[in-house]
Amino acid sequence: MASMEPKRVLKPVNATNPVSASTVSMEQLKKLREETTSTTAKSMQQASSSGSLAGGKDSASAETKDADPMASQRMKKWALEDFDIGKPLGKGKFGNVYLAREKQSKYIVALKLMFKSQLQKAGVEHQLRREIEIQSHLRHENILRMFGYFHDKTRVYLILEFAPRGELYKELQRCGRFDEKRTANYIYQLSSALTYCHSKKVIHRDIKPENLLLGMRGELKIADFGWSVHAPSSRRTTMCGTLDYLPPEMVEGKTHDENVDLWSLGVLCYEFLVGNPPFETESHSETYARITKVDLRFPELVAAGARDLISKLLRHDPRKRLPLPQVMTHYWIVENHTSADGATKSKP
């Protein structure tokens, strides 16, 4: 069995309160800038034939319609000197994330800094390249935007959309669990984002609260594509993701396709409503056993409609899991999901 990451390791990506660039000392900023060279990365090829900082022209109705605040600079070769650096937003395995402001547009972003030496030591350079290639091409209101990237002699920098309300996992910890309406809204939004990803032949493979952020209006945003894969063949065998969210086909070492994301969606819905994943145990071996048996147990607080949806997603046979369009029109989602203006969706 391939080694898994520790259970519930927090990977902070964003924070809740924007601050000015003055919160980082001038000495720190000067040191960073002195170490920065003018070396930049070439522009990413766009699936929509637009620049890496431009809005896509895809016709999918779910894609974000917002104008790109940095579109006028889409062919720019970025360097650290182009940004005012604010306070640290979080610390990751390979570096840190900072609040930043692009000087010319005054646009606020999250600047993710990673050390090349640590990436090389962990052997994940290919994973980072894949993450950049995938996320920089995606345009959906429930997917965190990657505007571009650049690097210097020792670091790689990702220019990311800033999610002001921070990490969903911390919000779940604060609340303990979410009510039906909030859960239904999140599952609907995530289903919309995954439908878009799958239409682009992108499988996420690591949907979990730690990889989700909250935008200005409280909308959910997928923020980490480190385990994602662009798989036109749709069949993969790599063991990846987080233990509590692994589907049976991965645990059993079988090939998998985009249906792994349906399983993760079911696990996520359960955790939102209950406060912990459905197959969580004290040991990895017990968790594996419960997953392969689909040993699903509901506490009384979970409503019948939610049980029905979760049970239809957590099926051992990937082909029998409820498709994403049917998740979005499931009667429990329809009864509890509200639109952006607060109106409850009517039954189709």
Q: What positions carry a catalytic annotation?
A: 206
Copy the structure tokens of residue 147.
């505007």
In which element (H, E) is residue 273 found?
helix 259-274
Q: What is the DSSP string of 143-201?
A: B--EEEEEE-SSEEEEEEE--TT-BHHHHHHHHSS--HHHHHHHHHHHHHHHHHHHHTT
Using a 10 angstrom Cβ sphere, with 0-12 exposed, 13-18 middle and 19 or more buried, the burial of residue 298 is: middle
Copy the structure tokens of residue 235.
């069949």
Residue positions in the annotated binding site for ATP? 93, 112, 161-163, 210-211, 224
CA atoms of 257 and 81, how far apart (whole Å):
42
Distances (CA, A) of 202 to 125, 196, 270, 273: 19, 9, 24, 27
Residue positions in the annotated binding site? 93, 112, 161-163, 210-211, 224
In which element (H, E) is residue 91 found?
strand 83-91
